[in-house]
């Protein structure tokens, strides 16, 4: 399966191709980064951009490789990390000159075709569907109006994610200059003699000006049945209908069955980053890496912490889960939401899941990261920080990726502790968006008794019994709304209502508890 994505600068090709490769388990081939790497190497060597022979020599001899980091793909030219350098204004102004040289394109196309020999590739560039992979299974020509593209590039230049949307604030003068460069680049790309920018005759045109990344990806997947079959999100049980856990898909396989990861690798494709056992890993590395791929010392720390905290809290507070078959009896990845009266809530929930062999990540407020020892511990325990009060797209992507790997996600929609069982905290609806994007269910949980542990102003921690309960999962297919935004809103309201219903029911069953 080869997917070719062409389009002008800033149309979102790289972002979409990278996300599509992750979702469909395709090798991501960033061809634009390859031409930019040649440009960087020429600039480093002080080569005049009119000296065609020297530029060709660089292209024929350059070594280009890709890797992964917590911040995304990394690009290396002749062993040097040029990830940031290839996105500078100077490279923007000169890359069209380099890419227009036929011999340079020949050298790059040879590398690109070699990478695609094994198939299962998503490649983006300006001549992928017309020159590099003319026989591609799916061809897309991705466009966007120049103003939208300039804004995305300006956001990118400020070190932020271009997928944050059109509302992100940027420097107006910088954006205006980028718009001028983009228009000049469009003109140069479309008028060059060697492989000018144009759509393949059989390409599908998609305008991304007002579309989110997820919407563009959905549109591409809908173009070919083979892409739908590769889509791991189609294997989520309850979103293929209202069937039970054991319901089967059309091919006779359980919806909960995950497709096996391909073993194929390209000579220039990014390999999954392996965390080092001792040191050398950033906090972002832990946020972005599967729990099962954590190094042994981190796993040991997690189990030591869970064992100690689990033993102490179980003995002292005698916590007990009700309706446990709905909770640990179902290992399907989903978003777990819960009321949040004390710090005990995440401890007993995570302990219970891990003891039953269910991987779980907890969303926590980024303010905790100000205390570095706590940030260190939370990262090893699988936490994902979120900037409250903002549209933290990085946290959302990390959360949806974790769910796609089969990990549970624990979220406290109230955002902060609500030290009263008669009040309802303000609901932060990010959990519904995450579940919607990952195509998973939402499960309400509740806890009571935790407020009796320690009275306000008292240093004593009393050995009181704590009760927890799991509710039935809620699927988006159960909702009455049909529009995406309306569904998210309805999920927020219905799921939190279930949380409070569970809490209130336990309060009635255990009078005197808080």
- Residues 79-109 pLDDT 10s: 889 999 998 999 999 998 999 899 998 999 8
pLDDT band at 195 (very low <50, low <70, confident <90, very high): low
Domains in the chain, start-ordered, CATH in brackets?
A: 2-234 (3.40.50.300), 283-509 (3.40.1130.10)
Q: Could you identify the residue written with the tokens 């609901």?
A: 427
Q: What is the average pLDDT score of the chain?
A: 82
| pLDDT value, residue 234 | 59
Contacts 24+ apart (CB under 8 A), 215-224: 216/12, 216/16, 216/142, 217/16, 217/19, 217/20, 217/23, 220/3, 220/5, 220/16, 220/20, 220/138, 220/140, 221/20, 221/24, 223/138, 223/140, 224/137, 224/138
Q: How far is CA 150 from CA 40, 215, 406, in A?
A: 22, 20, 37
What is the token pair recorded at 63? 């070594």
Report which of 257, 248, 453 is spatially closest to residue 345, judged by C-alpha positions: 453
Task: State whether the Cα torsion 430-434-436-440 is positive or negative.
Answer: negative
Query: pLDDT of 155-188, one tens digit each?
Result: 777 665 555 455 566 677 777 888 888 888 778 7
Q: Checking DSSP bridges between strand 204-207 and strand 360-365, what pairing results, if any? A: unpaired
Of the candidate ranges 33-37, 48-52, 270-274, 284-288, the one whose mean pLDDT is the lowest: 270-274
What is the token pair recorded at 288? 């972005």
Residue 417 has pLDDT above 80, yes or no: no
| pLDDT value, residue 238 | 39
Helix (H, G, I), strand (E, B) or coil at 37: helix
Residue 427 has pLDDT above 80, yes or no: no
What is the token pair recorded at 210? 């007002």
Strand partners, 143: 207
User: Is there a binding annotation on residue 14?
Assistant: yes
User: Is there a binding annotation on residue 15?
Assistant: yes
Residue 362 has pLDDT above 60, yes or no: yes
Calculate what percentage of the chain has a pLDDT beyond 70: 84
Query: pLDDT of 272-286, one tens digit each?
Result: 356 788 778 889 889
Q: Could you identify the residue written with the tokens 């396989």?
A: 253
Calculate what percentage of the chain has a pLDDT beyond 90: 34
The residue that leads in pLDDT, 308 or 235, is 308
Query: pLDDT of 492-511, one tens digit each?
Result: 999 999 999 999 999 999 98
CA distance 476 to 490: 9
Residue 196 has pLDDT above 90, yes or no: no
Q: Checking DSSP bridges between strand 138-143 and strand 121-125, what pairing results, if any? A: unpaired
Query: pLDDT of 226-252, one tens digit each?
Result: 888 888 665 443 344 444 333 333 333
CA distance 459 to 70: 41
> Please, are residues 383 and 364 in contact by the beta-carbon 8 Å criterion?
yes
DSSP type of residue 220: H
Report which of 272, 405, 414, 395 is spatially closest to residue 331, judged by C-alpha positions: 405
CA distance 18 to 133: 18
| pLDDT value, residue 268 | 35
| pLDDT value, residue 404 | 85
CA distance 8 to 12: 9
Question: How many residues are listed for the chain in this entry?
Answer: 514
Residue 216 has pLDDT above 80, yes or no: yes
Residue 14 has pLDDT above 50, yes or no: yes
> Please, are residues 178 and 186 in contact by the beta-carbon 8 Å criterion?
no
Q: Given phi > 0 = left and psi -120 to 50 = alpha, else beta, which region is 406?
A: left
Query: DSSP characters for 423-451?
Result: --PPPPTHHHHHHHHHT--EEEEEEESGG
pLDDT band at 190 (very low <50, low <70, confident <90, very high): confident
| pLDDT value, residue 107 | 92
pLDDT band at 194 (very low <50, low <70, confident <90, very high): low
Phi, psi of 269 (to 5 degrees): -85, 155
Q: Could you identify the residue written with the tokens 């569907």?
A: 129
User: Is there a binding annotation on residue 11?
Assistant: yes
The residue that leads in pLDDT, 96 or 417, is 96
| pLDDT value, residue 149 | 82
| pLDDT value, residue 118 | 60
Burial of 398-415, coded b for 16+ CB within 10 Å and e otherwise, reads bbbbbbbbbbbbbbbbbb
Query: pLDDT of 364-414, one tens digit each?
Result: 989 999 999 999 999 999 999 998 766 677 788 889 888 988 899 999 988
User: Is there a binding annotation on residue 389?
Assistant: no
Residue 334 has pLDDT above 90, yes or no: yes
| pLDDT value, residue 162 | 54
pTM over cut 0.75: no
User: Is there a binding annotation on residue 13?
Assistant: yes
Q: Given phi > 0 = left and psi -120 to 50 = alpha, else beta, which region is 511?
A: beta
Report which of 139, 130, 218, 180 is spatially closest to residue 10, judged by C-alpha positions: 180
Report which of 320, 340, 342 is spatially closest to residue 452, judged by C-alpha positions: 342
């Amino acid at each position: 399966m080869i997917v070719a994505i062409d389009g002008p600068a800033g149309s979102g090709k790289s972002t979409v191709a990278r996300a599509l490769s992750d979702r469909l388990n395709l090798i991501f081939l960033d061809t634009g980064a390859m031409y930019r790497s040649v440009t960087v190497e020429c600039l480093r060597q002080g080569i005049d951009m009119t000296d065609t022979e020297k530029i060709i020599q660089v292209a024929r001899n350059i070594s280009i490789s890709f890797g992964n980091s917590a911040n995304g793909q990394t690009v290396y030219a002749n062993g040097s990390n040029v990830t940031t350098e290839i996105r500078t204004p100077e490279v923007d102004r000169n890359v069209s000159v380099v890419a227009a040289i036929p011999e340079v394109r020949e050298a790059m196309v040879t590398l690109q075709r070699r990478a695609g020999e094994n198939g299962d590739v998503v490649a983006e560039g300006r001549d992928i569907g017309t020159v590099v992979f003319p026989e591609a299974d799916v061809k897309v020509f991705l466009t966007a109006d120049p103003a939208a593209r300039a804004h995305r590039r300006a956001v990118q230049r400020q070190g932020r994610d271009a997928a944050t949307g059109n509302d992100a604030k940027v420097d107006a003068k910088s954006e205006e200059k980028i718009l001028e460069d983009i228009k000049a680049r469009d003109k140069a790309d479309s008028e060059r003699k060697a492989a000018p920018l144009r759509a393949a005759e059989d390409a599908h045109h998609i305008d991304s000006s007002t579309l989110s990344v997820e919407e563009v990806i959905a549109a591409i997947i809908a173009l070919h049945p083979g892409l739908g079959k590769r889509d791991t999100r189609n294997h989520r049980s309850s979103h293929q209908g209202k069937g039970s856990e054991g319901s089967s898909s059309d091919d006779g396989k359980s919806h909960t069955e995950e497709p096996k990861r391909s073993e194929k690798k390209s000579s220039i494709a990014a390999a999954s980053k392996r965390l080092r056992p001792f040191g050398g890993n950033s906090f972002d590395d832990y946020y972005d890496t599967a729990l099962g791929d954590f190094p042994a010392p981190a796993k040991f720390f997690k189990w030591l912490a869970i064992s100690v905290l689990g033993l102490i809290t179980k003995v002292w507070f005698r916590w007990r889960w009700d309706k446990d078959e709905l909770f640990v009896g179902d290992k399907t990845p989903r978003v777990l939401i819960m009321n949040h009266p004390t710090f005990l809530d995440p401890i007993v929930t995570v302990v219970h899941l891990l003891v039953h062999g269910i991987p779980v990540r907890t969303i926590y407020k980024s303010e905790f990261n100000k205390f570095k020892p706590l940030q260190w511990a939370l990262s090893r325990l699988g936490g994902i920080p979120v900037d409250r009060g903002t549209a933290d797209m990085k946290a959302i992507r990390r959360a949806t990726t974790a769910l796609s790997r089969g990990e549970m996600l624990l979220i406290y929609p109230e955002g902060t502790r609500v030290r009263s069982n008669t009040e309802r905290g303000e609901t932060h609806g990010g959990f519904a968006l995450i579940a919607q994007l990952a195509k998973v269910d939402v499960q309400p949980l509740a806890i009571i008794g935790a407020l009796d542990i320690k009275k306000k102003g008292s240093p004593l921690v009393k050995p009181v019994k704590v009760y927890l309960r799991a509710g039935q999962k809620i699927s988006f297919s159960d909702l009455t709304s049909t529009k995406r935004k309306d569904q998210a809103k309805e999920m927020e309201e219905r799921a939190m209502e279930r949380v409070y219903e569970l809490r209130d029911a336990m309060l009635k069953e255990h009078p005197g508890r808080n």
